[in-house]
Amino acid sequence: MPPLDRFRKLIKHLRVVVRFCACDMFDETYTMFNPFFMVLLLCLAIYTVCFINTIYDGFVINNDWTIILQCLAVGAMAVQAISKYLCYYSHRITLRKMVKHLDNIYEEYQSRGTRYEYALKKSLQKIVKCLKVAGGIYFTTVIGLIVLPIIYMLITGKRELSLTALIPGIDPKETVGYFIHTGFHSAIILFSGVGFFASDTIMFSMLLHVLLHRDIMVAKFYDLNEITEQDDKSAERSRPSLNDIIAWHQKYNLFMEYIEELFSGIIFVHITTSCVSICSTLFCIVLKVWPFAPLLLISNTSMYAYCGFGQLLATTNDDVTRMIYEVCIWYRLEVKEQKMILLMLRKSQYAVELTVGKIMPLNFNTALQLSKGIYTYLMVLINFLE
């Protein structure tokens, strides 16, 4: 199958997933006020009522302050879901521009030679592999969140709920009430899992196309080098190829700007709420008020995954800077052309990078610093209790 058809098939599959959540931002006629989204808002309102009822029942009636920690752990995930929808909706035009931009790239470069075709196919293979890994993680987590409380009950005889959302008027301590809550929570977990997977697949599939831009630039530099190797080194032969490379570098920078515009808000909310969720969950485990705390896995994994993609983009920017100097045999070019390469080299040193709210760069070092901060916070709380 040609790369263009495979890319369009990938987008088609992504749209199937996002339609399940009534959030098909790829559709140019999409509006927030559609029947499916109204149903989604109704479900969110029901969950909010149950969430408030949980805080009232635990903190006000039973005087159990630890319920606040449990609610923070789960509420952070709800904030992530809402923020992701709002960010995608407010920047839906940018998302469509990115898809159109990529569609044009696949259409143009799939017939420009083996180097470019190989770059397109390699990009699609990486994206598909990444989405399969993400799908496996989300599937495992969703099944674990649904099944783990039942397994815990069968082993210990104690009844624990996956989420902190008590239905008013139904006692979860009774057998019937417990299974009603479990079914209600399972439906929420299933729908939320698909929603998070849909959001992250859009993000990951767009971010990984930065590698495609880098690989195509490498191929263009090799084409330029082949031209400069010939005996006839006139500017008329190399100038069109060099202009094409400069134009492509501008497209690369534009794509990076699209990424920053679309995902910067999502990243900030996701990282901060993940830290809150991890802190609350760990503290619940220490206090033994929420023994299995299954949200810890997905919060930790997603935080490191986001930081990992930030590191990938930073590394790609460094690769582009390095290839301009190392892959391009610039000393074979004329002086005017060398100055053009120098301008492109300077521009590449100030490429767009993802950050966490303009406070710190999004990379593995940030993930480690956040982990240390979470550990320090946990130790302070434990010492405070002692």
Residue-wise pLDDT for 77-106, tens only, equals 888 888 888 888 888 899 999 999 999 999
CA 210 to CA 2: how far, in whole Å? 20
CA 88 to CA 166: how far, in whole Å? 30
> H helices of 56-113, where?
66-90, 92-109
Domain holding 200, by residue range, is 3-385
Residue-wise pLDDT for 120-136, tens only, equals 999 999 999 998 988 88
CA 101 to CA 98: how far, in whole Å? 5
How much is the pLDDT for 217?
Answer: 92
Q: Assign 292 a pLDDT band (cuts: 50, 70, 90).
A: low
CA 166 to CA 177: how far, in whole Å? 10
Spell out the residues 6+ positions from residue 332 whose beta carbon is closer than 8 angstroms to its own.
225, 228, 229, 233
How much is the pLDDT for 234?
Answer: 57
* Count of residues making up the chain: 386
Nearest Cα neighbor of 73 from 284, 369, 288 is 284
How much is the pLDDT for 124?
Answer: 92
Mean pLDDT across the stretch 262-269? 90
Is this model's pTM higher than 0.75 or not?
Answer: yes
Q: Assign 232 a pLDDT band (cuts: 50, 70, 90).
A: low
Mean pLDDT across the stretch 51-72? 80
Q: Which helix or strand (DSSP H or E) is residue 355 part of?
A: strand 355-356
CA 194 to CA 16: how far, in whole Å? 11
Q: Assign 214 a pLDDT band (cuts: 50, 70, 90).
A: very high
How much is the pLDDT for 20?
Answer: 80
Domains held by the chain: number: 1
CA 89 to CA 136: how far, in whole Å? 27
Higher pLDDT pick, 367 / 33: 367
Residue-wise pLDDT for 7-48, tens only, equals 999 999 888 888 887 788 888 888 777 777 777 778 778 888
Q: What is the DSSP-derived secondary structure letter of residue 172? A: T
